[in-house]
Chains A and B, each alone.
Chain A
Amino acid sequence: MSETEVSGSGGLPAGRRGLRRRARAVLTAGALLAVGACAAPIPLVLDPRVAAPPLRPLAKGVVYKGCAIRFTEVIDARRVPETLGLITGRAVMSPPDSVAWIRSALPRLVDHGFTVAVAEEESAVAPVFSGTVSLQTAWVTNVLANKAATVVLHIEGQVAGGQSITRNYRGDLTNINWATSDNELKVLVDRAFVEAIDVMAADLRRYCPA
Protein backbone atom coordinates (compact mmCIF):
# COMPACT_ATOMS: atom_id res chain seq x y z
CA MET A 1 0.00 0.00 0.00
CA SER A 2 1.49 3.35 -0.99
CA GLU A 3 1.51 6.38 1.28
CA THR A 4 -1.12 8.14 -0.77
CA GLU A 5 -3.50 5.22 -1.01
CA VAL A 6 -6.84 5.95 0.54
CA SER A 7 -8.76 3.60 2.69
CA GLY A 8 -12.31 2.52 2.13
CA SER A 9 -13.64 3.88 5.36
CA GLY A 10 -11.61 6.77 6.71
CA GLY A 11 -10.68 8.49 3.48
CA LEU A 12 -7.25 9.49 4.88
CA PRO A 13 -3.83 8.77 3.44
CA ALA A 14 -2.37 5.67 5.09
CA GLY A 15 0.58 7.59 6.61
CA ARG A 16 -1.66 10.14 8.26
CA ARG A 17 -4.09 7.44 9.23
CA GLY A 18 -1.21 5.60 10.92
CA LEU A 19 -0.21 8.75 12.74
CA ARG A 20 -3.75 9.33 13.87
CA ARG A 21 -4.01 5.74 15.03
CA ARG A 22 -0.80 6.10 16.99
CA ALA A 23 -1.91 9.39 18.47
CA ARG A 24 -5.21 7.81 19.46
CA ALA A 25 -3.40 4.88 21.06
CA VAL A 26 -1.14 7.22 23.00
CA LEU A 27 -4.08 9.33 24.16
CA THR A 28 -6.00 6.22 25.18
CA ALA A 29 -2.99 4.90 27.05
CA GLY A 30 -2.61 8.29 28.70
CA ALA A 31 -6.24 8.38 29.73
CA LEU A 32 -6.08 4.83 31.08
CA LEU A 33 -2.91 5.65 32.97
CA ALA A 34 -4.48 8.77 34.41
CA VAL A 35 -7.58 6.88 35.53
CA GLY A 36 -5.50 3.98 36.83
CA ALA A 37 -3.14 6.24 38.68
CA CYS A 38 -5.99 8.19 40.28
CA ALA A 39 -7.83 5.08 41.53
CA ALA A 40 -7.10 4.31 45.18
CA PRO A 41 -3.76 2.55 44.78
CA ILE A 42 -3.13 -0.73 46.56
CA PRO A 43 -0.57 -0.34 49.35
CA LEU A 44 2.85 -1.77 48.74
CA VAL A 45 4.19 -4.15 51.38
CA LEU A 46 7.98 -4.21 51.18
CA ASP A 47 9.85 -7.48 50.78
CA PRO A 48 10.94 -9.13 54.05
CA ARG A 49 14.60 -8.74 53.09
CA VAL A 50 16.55 -5.65 52.13
CA ALA A 51 18.18 -6.22 48.75
CA ALA A 52 21.66 -4.73 48.61
CA PRO A 53 23.33 -3.92 45.32
CA PRO A 54 26.92 -5.16 45.06
CA LEU A 55 29.68 -2.94 46.33
CA ARG A 56 32.04 -1.32 43.90
CA PRO A 57 34.84 -3.76 42.91
CA LEU A 58 37.53 -1.94 44.90
CA ALA A 59 35.62 -2.13 48.15
CA LYS A 60 34.34 -5.66 47.69
CA GLY A 61 36.35 -8.45 49.22
CA VAL A 62 38.34 -6.26 51.58
CA VAL A 63 38.52 -7.97 54.98
CA TYR A 64 39.49 -6.04 58.06
CA LYS A 65 41.16 -8.59 60.29
CA GLY A 66 39.77 -8.64 63.79
CA CYS A 67 37.17 -6.07 62.88
CA ALA A 68 34.06 -7.48 64.44
CA ILE A 69 30.74 -5.87 65.33
CA ARG A 70 28.32 -7.31 67.80
CA PHE A 71 24.73 -6.11 67.88
CA THR A 72 23.25 -7.18 71.18
CA GLU A 73 19.75 -6.28 70.02
CA VAL A 74 18.01 -5.17 66.84
CA ILE A 75 15.16 -2.75 67.56
CA ASP A 76 12.46 -1.14 65.48
CA ALA A 77 12.13 2.19 67.29
CA ARG A 78 9.65 3.83 64.93
CA ARG A 79 6.46 5.24 66.39
CA VAL A 80 4.36 3.60 63.70
CA PRO A 81 6.34 0.59 62.48
CA GLU A 82 3.69 -0.47 59.97
CA THR A 83 3.81 2.51 57.62
CA LEU A 84 6.69 4.26 55.88
CA GLY A 85 4.52 6.91 54.29
CA LEU A 86 2.87 7.72 50.99
CA ILE A 87 4.12 8.25 47.49
CA THR A 88 1.53 9.89 45.25
CA GLY A 89 -1.28 8.54 47.40
CA ARG A 90 0.11 5.00 47.57
CA ALA A 91 0.96 3.74 51.05
CA VAL A 92 4.27 1.96 51.53
CA MET A 93 4.19 -0.56 54.38
CA SER A 94 6.91 -2.41 56.27
CA PRO A 95 7.05 -6.19 55.99
CA PRO A 96 5.21 -7.90 58.86
CA ASP A 97 8.40 -8.79 60.78
CA SER A 98 10.16 -5.46 60.75
CA VAL A 99 12.97 -6.57 63.08
CA ALA A 100 13.87 -9.38 60.66
CA TRP A 101 13.74 -6.78 57.90
CA ILE A 102 16.27 -4.55 59.70
CA ARG A 103 18.41 -7.58 60.48
CA SER A 104 18.44 -8.56 56.82
CA ALA A 105 20.30 -5.35 55.99
CA LEU A 106 23.17 -5.99 58.43
CA PRO A 107 25.09 -8.50 56.26
CA ARG A 108 25.94 -5.47 54.16
CA LEU A 109 28.56 -4.80 56.85
CA VAL A 110 30.14 -8.14 55.98
CA ASP A 111 30.48 -6.88 52.40
CA HIS A 112 32.45 -4.01 53.89
CA GLY A 113 34.90 -6.42 55.56
CA PHE A 114 33.41 -6.69 59.05
CA THR A 115 32.39 -9.82 60.82
CA VAL A 116 28.97 -9.37 62.35
CA ALA A 117 27.33 -11.17 65.25
CA VAL A 118 23.72 -10.43 66.11
CA ALA A 119 21.91 -11.11 69.41
CA GLU A 120 22.78 -14.60 70.62
CA GLU A 121 25.46 -15.18 67.99
CA GLU A 122 29.00 -15.34 69.36
CA SER A 123 31.74 -13.08 68.10
CA ALA A 124 35.03 -14.89 67.41
CA VAL A 125 37.14 -11.86 68.33
CA ALA A 126 36.60 -8.93 70.67
CA PRO A 127 34.22 -6.62 68.80
CA VAL A 128 35.18 -3.06 67.94
CA PHE A 129 31.57 -2.14 68.63
CA SER A 130 29.12 -3.87 70.88
CA GLY A 131 25.63 -2.51 71.43
CA THR A 132 22.17 -2.06 69.99
CA VAL A 133 21.12 -1.02 66.53
CA SER A 134 17.70 0.50 66.03
CA LEU A 135 15.74 1.72 63.08
CA GLN A 136 14.88 5.27 64.07
CA THR A 137 13.30 6.42 60.85
CA ALA A 138 12.24 4.87 57.57
CA TRP A 139 9.97 7.03 55.50
CA VAL A 140 9.04 7.81 51.96
CA THR A 141 7.41 10.81 50.38
CA ASN A 142 7.08 12.55 47.07
CA VAL A 143 8.53 15.92 46.14
CA LEU A 144 6.29 16.91 43.23
CA ALA A 145 6.90 14.17 40.65
CA ASN A 146 9.89 12.75 42.51
CA LYS A 147 10.05 10.12 45.18
CA ALA A 148 12.32 10.23 48.19
CA ALA A 149 13.23 7.74 50.90
CA THR A 150 15.11 8.26 54.14
CA VAL A 151 16.40 5.65 56.56
CA VAL A 152 18.06 6.53 59.86
CA LEU A 153 19.82 3.83 61.87
CA HIS A 154 20.85 4.50 65.44
CA ILE A 155 23.54 2.62 67.32
CA GLU A 156 24.23 2.81 71.01
CA GLY A 157 26.98 0.90 72.81
CA GLN A 158 30.67 0.65 73.42
CA VAL A 159 33.63 0.68 71.11
CA ALA A 160 36.99 -0.98 71.71
CA GLY A 161 38.56 0.60 74.76
CA GLY A 162 35.25 0.93 76.55
CA GLN A 163 34.18 4.33 75.23
CA SER A 164 30.39 4.72 74.97
CA ILE A 165 29.04 6.01 71.69
CA THR A 166 25.66 6.86 70.16
CA ARG A 167 25.43 7.56 66.46
CA ASN A 168 22.80 8.14 63.79
CA TYR A 169 23.48 7.02 60.23
CA ARG A 170 21.35 8.44 57.49
CA GLY A 171 20.60 7.08 54.03
CA ASP A 172 18.70 9.24 51.55
CA LEU A 173 17.66 8.71 47.97
CA THR A 174 15.65 10.89 45.61
CA ASN A 175 14.71 10.22 42.01
CA ILE A 176 11.92 10.65 39.46
CA ASN A 177 8.74 8.77 40.24
CA TRP A 178 7.81 7.22 36.91
CA ALA A 179 4.89 5.00 37.81
CA THR A 180 4.87 4.40 41.58
CA SER A 181 5.49 0.76 40.68
CA ASP A 182 6.30 -1.94 43.22
CA ASN A 183 9.83 -2.36 41.96
CA GLU A 184 10.58 1.37 41.86
CA LEU A 185 9.51 1.83 45.46
CA LYS A 186 11.25 -1.29 46.76
CA VAL A 187 14.54 -0.30 45.14
CA LEU A 188 14.16 3.23 46.53
CA VAL A 189 13.78 2.05 50.14
CA ASP A 190 16.41 -0.68 49.83
CA ARG A 191 18.99 1.75 48.45
CA ALA A 192 18.32 4.26 51.23
CA PHE A 193 18.67 1.44 53.77
CA VAL A 194 21.93 0.27 52.24
CA GLU A 195 23.29 3.80 52.15
CA ALA A 196 22.70 4.13 55.90
CA ILE A 197 24.61 0.88 56.45
CA ASP A 198 27.43 2.07 54.19
CA VAL A 199 27.75 5.26 56.24
CA MET A 200 27.81 3.14 59.40
CA ALA A 201 30.57 0.96 57.94
CA ALA A 202 32.68 3.98 57.03
CA ASP A 203 32.30 5.36 60.55
CA LEU A 204 32.97 2.13 62.47
CA ARG A 205 35.95 1.22 60.35
CA ARG A 206 38.08 3.76 62.20
CA TYR A 207 37.77 1.67 65.37
CA CYS A 208 39.23 -1.38 63.64
CA PRO A 209 42.83 -2.42 64.41
CA ALA A 210 45.24 -0.96 61.89
Chain B
Amino acid sequence: MKHKIIVGGLMAASLALCAAGPVIAASAPKNVVPEASKSVEGGLGVQVLVAQSEIKSNINPSYVSVAMAGGVLAALIDAKIESDRAKRAEMEIAPLRTALTGFDVDGLATDTTKATMARYPWLSVATPAFGRDSSLLGKSAALDAAATNEVAFFEYIYDLAPDFSTIRVSLNMQFANKALPEGKKPESRLAPRELSYSQTVTSVVALPRPTDMAGNAARWSAGDGKLARKALSEAFAELAILAPRALELSAADLKAMSGKDKKNTSLYGFSGRLLEEDDTGTLLFNAGLTHLETLSE
Protein backbone atom coordinates (compact mmCIF):
# COMPACT_ATOMS: atom_id res chain seq x y z
CA MET B 1 0.00 0.00 0.00
CA LYS B 2 2.78 2.36 1.09
CA HIS B 3 4.72 1.49 -2.04
CA LYS B 4 1.63 2.15 -4.19
CA ILE B 5 1.20 5.57 -2.59
CA ILE B 6 4.86 6.42 -3.20
CA VAL B 7 4.69 5.33 -6.84
CA GLY B 8 1.37 7.15 -7.27
CA GLY B 9 2.85 10.30 -5.78
CA LEU B 10 5.87 10.07 -8.05
CA MET B 11 3.67 9.55 -11.09
CA ALA B 12 1.53 12.55 -10.23
CA ALA B 13 4.66 14.63 -9.56
CA SER B 14 6.21 13.52 -12.87
CA LEU B 15 3.07 14.44 -14.75
CA ALA B 16 2.94 17.80 -13.03
CA LEU B 17 6.53 18.44 -14.10
CA CYS B 18 5.73 17.44 -17.66
CA ALA B 19 2.68 19.67 -17.65
CA ALA B 20 4.96 22.55 -16.64
CA GLY B 21 7.29 21.75 -19.52
CA PRO B 22 5.63 23.77 -22.26
CA VAL B 23 5.57 26.84 -20.02
CA ILE B 24 9.32 26.63 -19.61
CA ALA B 25 9.77 25.90 -23.30
CA ALA B 26 7.70 28.94 -24.26
CA SER B 27 10.44 31.22 -22.94
CA ALA B 28 13.01 29.82 -25.38
CA PRO B 29 14.50 32.78 -27.29
CA LYS B 30 13.15 32.00 -30.76
CA ASN B 31 10.76 34.88 -30.90
CA VAL B 32 11.95 36.67 -34.02
CA VAL B 33 10.57 35.39 -37.32
CA PRO B 34 13.58 34.20 -39.32
CA GLU B 35 13.97 35.40 -42.91
CA ALA B 36 14.01 31.78 -44.10
CA SER B 37 10.43 31.33 -42.89
CA LYS B 38 9.36 34.28 -45.03
CA SER B 39 10.56 32.67 -48.23
CA VAL B 40 9.06 29.18 -47.99
CA GLU B 41 7.64 28.15 -51.35
CA GLY B 42 3.86 28.46 -51.31
CA GLY B 43 3.99 30.21 -47.94
CA LEU B 44 3.79 28.60 -44.53
CA GLY B 45 0.87 26.23 -44.10
CA VAL B 46 -1.32 27.26 -41.19
CA GLN B 47 -2.93 25.01 -38.62
CA VAL B 48 -5.34 26.37 -35.99
CA LEU B 49 -5.39 24.34 -32.79
CA VAL B 50 -7.94 24.65 -30.00
CA ALA B 51 -7.53 21.63 -27.74
CA GLN B 52 -10.70 22.35 -25.79
CA SER B 53 -14.42 22.37 -26.52
CA GLU B 54 -15.42 24.68 -23.68
CA ILE B 55 -13.82 27.30 -21.47
CA LYS B 56 -11.25 25.83 -19.10
CA SER B 57 -11.18 26.33 -15.36
CA ASN B 58 -7.99 26.98 -13.47
CA ILE B 59 -6.79 26.53 -9.92
CA ASN B 60 -3.94 27.76 -7.79
CA PRO B 61 -1.38 25.06 -7.04
CA SER B 62 -0.94 23.90 -3.46
CA TYR B 63 2.52 24.42 -1.97
CA VAL B 64 2.39 22.25 1.14
CA SER B 65 5.28 20.14 -0.17
CA VAL B 66 7.36 23.30 -0.63
CA ALA B 67 6.56 24.45 2.90
CA MET B 68 7.39 21.00 4.27
CA ALA B 69 10.56 20.73 2.16
CA GLY B 70 9.19 17.84 0.12
CA GLY B 71 8.18 14.32 1.04
CA VAL B 72 5.58 11.90 -0.19
CA LEU B 73 3.06 12.82 2.51
CA ALA B 74 3.28 16.49 1.57
CA ALA B 75 2.88 15.59 -2.11
CA LEU B 76 -0.24 13.62 -1.28
CA ILE B 77 -1.63 16.52 0.75
CA ASP B 78 -0.98 18.79 -2.25
CA ALA B 79 -2.72 16.31 -4.53
CA LYS B 80 -5.77 16.21 -2.27
CA ILE B 81 -5.97 20.00 -1.92
CA GLU B 82 -5.61 20.49 -5.68
CA SER B 83 -8.17 17.78 -6.36
CA ASP B 84 -10.71 19.52 -4.13
CA ARG B 85 -9.95 22.86 -5.78
CA ALA B 86 -10.31 21.35 -9.25
CA LYS B 87 -13.64 19.73 -8.38
CA ARG B 88 -14.97 22.99 -7.01
CA ALA B 89 -13.74 24.97 -10.02
CA GLU B 90 -15.30 22.47 -12.43
CA MET B 91 -18.58 22.65 -10.53
CA GLU B 92 -18.65 26.45 -10.41
CA ILE B 93 -17.78 26.82 -14.09
CA ALA B 94 -20.58 24.53 -15.32
CA PRO B 95 -23.28 27.28 -15.49
CA LEU B 96 -20.91 29.46 -17.53
CA ARG B 97 -20.21 26.60 -19.93
CA THR B 98 -23.96 26.07 -20.30
CA ALA B 99 -24.46 29.80 -20.89
CA LEU B 100 -21.79 29.76 -23.61
CA THR B 101 -23.45 26.89 -25.50
CA GLY B 102 -23.56 27.81 -29.16
CA PHE B 103 -20.96 30.57 -28.82
CA ASP B 104 -18.43 29.74 -31.51
CA VAL B 105 -15.02 30.21 -29.91
CA ASP B 106 -13.45 27.93 -32.52
CA GLY B 107 -14.76 30.34 -35.14
CA LEU B 108 -13.21 33.30 -33.30
CA ALA B 109 -9.87 31.48 -33.26
CA THR B 110 -10.08 30.75 -36.98
CA ASP B 111 -11.09 34.33 -37.80
CA THR B 112 -8.26 35.73 -35.66
CA THR B 113 -5.80 33.50 -37.49
CA LYS B 114 -7.20 34.47 -40.88
CA ALA B 115 -6.89 38.16 -40.02
CA THR B 116 -3.21 37.60 -39.22
CA MET B 117 -2.66 35.51 -42.35
CA ALA B 118 -4.12 38.24 -44.53
CA ARG B 119 -1.34 40.62 -43.47
CA TYR B 120 1.60 38.48 -44.46
CA PRO B 121 2.23 37.12 -47.94
CA TRP B 122 4.62 34.56 -46.47
CA LEU B 123 1.72 32.82 -44.74
CA SER B 124 -0.26 30.51 -47.01
CA VAL B 125 -3.44 31.90 -48.52
CA ALA B 126 -5.18 28.54 -48.17
CA THR B 127 -7.90 28.21 -45.53
CA PRO B 128 -6.21 27.19 -42.30
CA ALA B 129 -6.76 23.65 -41.10
CA PHE B 130 -8.53 23.32 -37.76
CA GLY B 131 -7.84 20.67 -35.14
CA ARG B 132 -7.99 19.81 -31.46
CA ASP B 133 -4.97 17.54 -31.21
CA SER B 134 -2.18 19.80 -30.02
CA SER B 135 -0.10 16.91 -28.69
CA LEU B 136 3.43 16.47 -30.05
CA LEU B 137 2.33 13.47 -32.08
CA GLY B 138 -0.73 15.32 -33.34
CA LYS B 139 1.33 18.28 -34.52
CA SER B 140 3.89 15.94 -36.02
CA ALA B 141 1.14 14.22 -38.01
CA ALA B 142 -0.13 17.62 -39.16
CA LEU B 143 3.40 18.48 -40.32
CA ASP B 144 3.56 15.27 -42.32
CA ALA B 145 0.19 15.97 -43.90
CA ALA B 146 1.06 19.58 -44.79
CA ALA B 147 1.55 20.54 -48.42
CA THR B 148 4.27 23.03 -47.47
CA ASN B 149 7.75 22.59 -45.99
CA GLU B 150 7.03 24.66 -42.92
CA VAL B 151 3.86 24.99 -40.86
CA ALA B 152 2.72 27.77 -38.56
CA PHE B 153 0.72 26.41 -35.63
CA PHE B 154 -1.68 28.90 -34.09
CA GLU B 155 -2.58 27.29 -30.79
CA TYR B 156 -5.25 28.93 -28.63
CA ILE B 157 -6.15 28.39 -24.98
CA TYR B 158 -9.01 30.19 -23.26
CA ASP B 159 -9.71 29.91 -19.57
CA LEU B 160 -10.72 31.61 -16.37
CA ALA B 161 -8.39 32.81 -13.61
CA PRO B 162 -8.53 30.62 -10.49
CA ASP B 163 -10.91 33.09 -8.80
CA PHE B 164 -12.88 33.57 -12.06
CA SER B 165 -12.09 37.29 -12.00
CA THR B 166 -10.63 37.32 -15.51
CA ILE B 167 -11.07 35.55 -18.82
CA ARG B 168 -7.75 34.89 -20.53
CA VAL B 169 -7.10 33.93 -24.12
CA SER B 170 -3.60 33.06 -25.19
CA LEU B 171 -2.20 32.34 -28.60
CA ASN B 172 1.05 30.47 -29.01
CA MET B 173 2.51 30.70 -32.49
CA GLN B 174 5.02 28.03 -33.42
CA PHE B 175 6.72 27.57 -36.78
CA ALA B 176 7.99 24.04 -37.41
CA ASN B 177 9.90 22.55 -40.32
CA LYS B 178 8.65 19.47 -42.10
CA ALA B 179 12.16 18.12 -42.72
CA LEU B 180 13.14 15.49 -40.21
CA PRO B 181 16.51 16.02 -38.50
CA GLU B 182 18.71 13.02 -39.15
CA GLY B 183 18.39 10.23 -36.63
CA LYS B 184 15.63 12.00 -34.71
CA LYS B 185 12.05 11.01 -33.98
CA PRO B 186 9.39 12.82 -36.06
CA GLU B 187 7.99 14.61 -33.00
CA SER B 188 11.44 16.10 -32.29
CA ARG B 189 10.58 18.64 -35.00
CA LEU B 190 8.31 20.24 -32.42
CA ALA B 191 10.97 20.43 -29.71
CA PRO B 192 11.66 24.06 -28.74
CA ARG B 193 15.22 23.94 -30.10
CA GLU B 194 13.98 22.73 -33.51
CA LEU B 195 11.24 25.35 -33.94
CA SER B 196 12.09 28.25 -36.16
CA TYR B 197 9.77 30.55 -34.24
CA SER B 198 7.79 30.50 -31.00
CA GLN B 199 5.95 33.34 -29.36
CA THR B 200 2.95 33.77 -27.07
CA VAL B 201 0.50 36.64 -26.95
CA THR B 202 -2.17 36.83 -24.28
CA SER B 203 -5.26 38.92 -23.80
CA VAL B 204 -6.77 39.23 -20.33
CA VAL B 205 -10.22 40.71 -19.80
CA ALA B 206 -11.22 41.38 -16.19
CA LEU B 207 -14.65 41.52 -14.68
CA PRO B 208 -15.26 44.96 -13.17
CA ARG B 209 -15.41 44.83 -9.38
CA PRO B 210 -14.90 41.09 -9.03
CA THR B 211 -15.91 39.29 -5.83
CA ASP B 212 -15.42 35.61 -5.06
CA MET B 213 -15.44 32.60 -7.38
CA ALA B 214 -19.17 31.89 -7.08
CA GLY B 215 -20.11 35.57 -7.42
CA ASN B 216 -17.87 36.05 -10.44
CA ALA B 217 -19.17 32.87 -12.07
CA ALA B 218 -22.74 34.11 -11.66
CA ARG B 219 -21.91 37.44 -13.27
CA TRP B 220 -20.08 35.92 -16.23
CA SER B 221 -23.00 33.52 -16.77
CA ALA B 222 -25.91 35.96 -16.38
CA GLY B 223 -28.05 36.67 -19.44
CA ASP B 224 -26.82 33.68 -21.44
CA GLY B 225 -23.23 34.54 -20.65
CA LYS B 226 -23.51 38.08 -22.00
CA LEU B 227 -20.39 39.36 -20.25
CA ALA B 228 -18.37 36.24 -20.99
CA ARG B 229 -19.28 36.39 -24.68
CA LYS B 230 -18.28 40.06 -24.76
CA ALA B 231 -15.01 39.35 -22.94
CA LEU B 232 -14.10 36.50 -25.27
CA SER B 233 -14.89 38.59 -28.34
CA GLU B 234 -12.76 41.47 -27.02
CA ALA B 235 -9.93 39.12 -26.09
CA PHE B 236 -9.79 37.58 -29.56
CA ALA B 237 -10.03 41.03 -31.16
CA GLU B 238 -7.02 42.06 -29.06
CA LEU B 239 -5.11 38.96 -30.15
CA ALA B 240 -5.71 39.98 -33.76
CA ILE B 241 -3.75 43.15 -32.89
CA LEU B 242 -1.09 41.52 -30.71
CA ALA B 243 -0.24 38.63 -33.06
CA PRO B 244 1.01 40.86 -35.93
CA ARG B 245 2.85 43.02 -33.41
CA ALA B 246 4.66 39.97 -32.10
CA LEU B 247 5.41 38.64 -35.57
CA GLU B 248 7.01 41.94 -36.54
CA LEU B 249 9.31 42.23 -33.52
CA SER B 250 13.03 42.35 -34.17
CA ALA B 251 15.77 41.26 -31.80
CA ALA B 252 16.42 44.92 -31.05
CA ASP B 253 12.73 45.48 -30.22
CA LEU B 254 12.76 42.54 -27.84
CA LYS B 255 15.89 43.84 -26.14
CA ALA B 256 14.38 47.30 -25.77
CA MET B 257 11.14 45.89 -24.37
CA SER B 258 12.96 44.05 -21.63
CA GLY B 259 15.13 47.06 -20.83
CA LYS B 260 15.50 48.14 -17.23
CA ASP B 261 13.98 51.51 -18.07
CA LYS B 262 10.66 49.71 -18.34
CA LYS B 263 8.89 49.46 -15.02
CA ASN B 264 8.09 46.01 -13.67
CA THR B 265 4.34 45.78 -13.21
CA SER B 266 1.91 43.16 -11.93
CA LEU B 267 -1.75 43.11 -12.83
CA TYR B 268 -4.43 40.40 -12.63
CA GLY B 269 -1.77 37.83 -11.78
CA PHE B 270 0.50 38.71 -14.71
CA SER B 271 3.88 40.42 -14.32
CA GLY B 272 6.16 42.00 -16.84
CA ARG B 273 7.77 45.16 -18.15
CA LEU B 274 5.22 47.91 -18.67
CA LEU B 275 5.11 48.88 -22.35
CA GLU B 276 1.89 50.83 -22.66
CA GLU B 277 -0.90 52.00 -20.42
CA ASP B 278 -3.97 53.91 -21.50
CA ASP B 279 -7.77 53.89 -21.36
CA THR B 280 -7.94 50.71 -23.44
CA GLY B 281 -5.72 48.72 -21.09
CA THR B 282 -2.18 47.80 -20.17
CA LEU B 283 0.42 46.06 -22.28
CA LEU B 284 3.16 44.06 -20.59
CA PHE B 285 6.21 42.32 -21.99
CA ASN B 286 6.97 39.04 -20.27
CA ALA B 287 8.88 37.14 -22.97
CA GLY B 288 5.61 37.51 -24.89
CA LEU B 289 3.04 40.27 -25.09
CA THR B 290 0.19 40.40 -22.59
CA HIS B 291 -2.66 42.88 -22.86
CA LEU B 292 -4.87 43.44 -19.82
CA GLU B 293 -8.12 45.36 -19.68
CA THR B 294 -11.24 45.69 -17.58
CA LEU B 295 -14.52 44.94 -19.26
CA SER B 296 -17.01 47.78 -19.54
CA GLU B 297 -20.45 46.59 -18.43
Contacts and interface: CB of A to CB of B under 8 A. Distances in A.
Interface of A: 26, 29-30, 33-34, 36-38, 40-43, 78-80, 82-86, 88-91, 93, 136-139, 141-146, 148, 150, 152, 168, 170, 172, 174-180
Given A178-B12, A180-B15, A29 B7 contact: yes
A148 B11 contact: no
B59 interface: yes
Contacts of A178: 8, 11-12
Contacts of A93: 133
Chain B interface main SS type: helix
B111 interface: no
Contacts of B54: 137, 139, 150
A90 B19 CA distance: 11
A179 B7 CA distance: 10
A150 B97 contact: yes
B16 A144 contact: yes
Contacts, number: 145
Contact of B86 (A42, A85, A143): A143
Nearest to A137: B53
Contacts of A34: 10, 13-14, 17-18
Interface string B240-258: 0000000000000000000
Give the top 6 A-B pairs by smallest Cβ distance, nearest first: A139-B53, A146-B86, A83-B132, A143-B86, A34-B14, A40-B136
Interface stretch (B87-95, B194-202, B224-232): B87-95
18 contacts: A34-B17, A37-B11, A40-B185, A43-B137, A82-B133, A83-B131, A88-B15, A137-B54, A138-B53, A143-B57, A143-B59, A144-B61, A145-B82, A146-B83, A146-B87, A152-B101, A175-B87, A176-B12
Interface of B: 6-8, 10-19, 21, 51-54, 56-59, 61, 79, 82-83, 86-87, 89-91, 94, 97-98, 101, 106, 130-138, 140, 185, 187
A193 B30 CA distance: 42
Contact of B18 (A30, A43, A88, A176): A88
B285 to A, nearest CB: 27
B136 A150 contact: no
A145 B135 contact: no
Nearest to B187: A40
Contacts of B10: 26, 29-30, 33-34
